[in-house]
Amino acid sequence: MQEYDVPALVAADPDANATDLLVDRVKATPDRALFALPTATGGWTDVSASEFLAQVVALAKGLVAAGIQPGDKIGLMCKTRYEWTLIDFATWFAGAVLVPVYETSSPSQVQWNLADSGAIAMITETPDHFARFDEVYADLPLIRNAWKINLGDLDKLAASGTEVTDEEIERRRVIAKGSDLATLIYTAGTTGRPKGCILTHSNFVELSRNAAMAIPEVVNTQSRTLLFITTAHIFARFIAVLSIHGGVQVGHQSDTKQLLPAMASFKPTFLLAVPRVFEKVYNSSEQKAESGGKGKIFRRAAAVAIEHSKALDAGSVPLALRLQFAVLDRLVLSKIRAAMGGNVKFAVSGSAPLGLRLGHFYRSLGITILEGYGLTETTAPISVNRPSNFKIGKVGPPLPGVSVRIAEDGEIQAKGINIFDGYWQNPDETAKVFDGEWFKTGDIGEFDDDGYLSITGRKKEIIVTAGGKNVSPAQLEDPIRANPIIDQVIVVGEQKPFIGALVTLDEEMLPVWLNNNAEDANMPIEDAAKLPKVVAEIQRAVDAANAMVSRAESIRKFVILTKPLTEASGHLTPKLSIKRNVILKDFAPDIEGMYQGAPTTEGIATV
């Protein structure tokens, strides 16, 4: 059994809670611009640390005036925006606990999160959010208050709390100790009902303090980041809290279609994203170049960039390669850098493997993508690459204060400052995921000789074919998904004679690709799915993935689904992970169709 233990760099403070991170930041740099708010003209207005603290206290007073008591739980359904973190810290300053609800949640999911947590108030952002809450309001007898951001209720709350004293807020602020509940975050629910993860104040405090020490090149008072991933998820929520601790200026843009204009004006120094975002930037750049008749030079630039990065890893870049790279960097790559604001030096990537190709490409673009690994139950990061010593294709060594071991069956297990306190009111499920102090992640991985972790699959997702071959879907799905016209791919084959796959087309990239390949860009997706060029392009992606595995593990057939897999359809989680069990159930006839009297010859596609 392999085990790596990384000692904490900061002494633990059991009396500290998450509010201390903001108080300490204001003491250190009161005038530091901690946030930036978008203006109507496309610019940004700074909000200093002291201004943010004043707004937090004012809103906390409003919550107190409205009857919120220490320990009360408040639901929040809101897109990624400045007010999300304002509400988060105001809730803590009032002594209460925030229960995030994904903005894409259905009424039944809203009802479950609020009822199971025992929330007594709800905050919604938009009329649509409120409508979904209102649909189940009658089934939530504990809810006493429902505030609407779109109607200005946050300002009204702040105005109503003027009679609450600073002393009362300070009393409430320090009630919570490190071991106390800081938030309940419900798992996305890829299987069964979502479970409430009990994250403590120490989880946030100790992990923030140690993570900032581990990656000071990223987290410092000269850094800026633009958050666009949903803050209801622990990945962005932790970065928001970490940024306050580290004095990082944060802007927000929840509309991904406006992401590039926002990046161009805000000029972040680092980004937080999932691999799908990096794939989209690459693919859209390639197809844009193709449309302008420059596809060949783009692909040449990308190939040279990847070769250049690999040469850096090898310790020497040949002169000819350096010269090629310099020319193509000026002609092609510099334009992508400029589109991302021009200042991005680092990106933190999680939730799925990035892939070697993209890791090397962005590295030569001047952007070091620091892959990390973690779960809601681990307050986000278990491990992350270090800027001074990162390895493409690895998710880094454990963070300070975290220990990781690989069990006999290959499962990754962790303990330390980031591990949650169990599932809310669910001791049976809690017991299932712990082996003593060790949290069982359910993921399969391995360490290299330097203690850098690789994720090789998910324990529950291992497919066993009729021939007894164990297949990890991720090693096939991730490279196929990188293709510009492919949105999702789901590998199947449990107790079947061979491995197959369900594939959906990327509705955003498909028209561009069709146009670039002399086809009708407006053709319905049902017709595009039958187009020989489209089938051949998918086969090309499948063949490339098959080349990395044995024949017994390779995909022999695939089905192109003409309906997208989305959160709304119930097939994706809010962080865009596939709900494999739901997909296998809903598309069972399509799957069975692949195996009913079908030959196993590679290259045959069923639509």
Quote the CA–CA distance of 375 and 354 in Å, as a whole number. Answer: 16
Q: Which residue has the tokens 């494999």?
A: 580
Q: Which of 530, 555, 531, 557 is nearest to 545 (CA)?
A: 555
- Within 10 angstroms of residue 447's Cβ, the number of other Cβ atoms is 19
Measured in degrees and rounded to the nearest 5, phi and psi for residue 429 equal: -70, -35
SS (H, E, C) 562-592: CCCCCCCCCCECCCCCECHHHHHHHCHHHHH
Quote the CA–CA distance of 177 and 158 in Å, as a whole number. Answer: 26
Q: Which of 432, 317, 416 is nearest to 374 (CA)?
A: 416
Is the model more confident about 508 or about 126?
Answer: 126
Query: What is the structure's pLDDT at 188?
Result: 62
Query: What is the structure's pLDDT at 465?
Result: 81
500 Cβ contact list (under 8 Å, min separation 6): 491, 492, 493, 555, 556, 557, 558, 559, 591, 594, 595
Query: What is the structure's pLDDT at 597?
Result: 60
Percent of all residues in the chain with a pLDDT value above 70, rounded to a whole number:
97
Query: What is the structure's pLDDT at 601?
Result: 37
426-447 per-position pLDDT tens digit: 999 999 999 999 999 999 999 9
258-268 per-position pLDDT tens digit: 888 899 999 99
Q: Assess whether pLDDT exceeds 70 at residue 602.
A: no
462-606 has CATH 3.30.450.20 classification: no
Strands 249-252 and 196-200: unpaired
pTM given for the model:
0.85
Residue 349 is given by DSSP the state E
158-209 per-position pLDDT tens digit: 999 999 999 999 999 999 999 999 999 998 654 568 899 999 999 999 999 9
Quote the CA–CA distance of 376 and 381 in Å, as a whole number. Answer: 9
Does residue 279 contact residue 63 with C-beta atoms inside 8 Å? no
**CA angle, residues 154, 156, 160, in degrees to nearest 5:** 115
Where residue 23 falls (left for φ over 0; alpha for ψ -120 to 50; beta otherwise) is alpha
Whole-number Cα distances in Å, 146 to 75, 94, 121, 230, 597: 9, 17, 6, 21, 57
CATH classification number, 18-176+218-269, choose in 3.40.50.12780, 3.40.1500.10, 3.40.50.720, 3.30.70.20: 3.40.50.12780
What's the fold here for domain 275-342+345-459? Rossmann fold (3.40.50)
Does residue 534 contact residue 309 with C-beta atoms inside 8 Å? no
Domain ranges of the chain: 18-176+218-269, 275-342+345-459, 462-606
Q: Which of 136, 141, 143, 138 is nearest to 110 (CA)?
A: 136
Provide the CB-side half-sphere exposure for 530 (13 A, CA): 4
Whole-number Cα distances in Å, 416 to 203, 403, 404, 420, 443: 9, 6, 9, 9, 18
Query: What is the structure's pLDDT at 575?
Result: 67
Strands 438-447 and 453-458: antiparallel
Please return the burial class of 548, using the count of CB atoms within 10 Å of its CB with bins 0-12, 13-18 and 19+.
exposed
275-342+345-459 matches 18-176+218-269 in CATH topology: yes
Q: Assess whether pLDDT exceeds 60 at residue 74.
A: yes
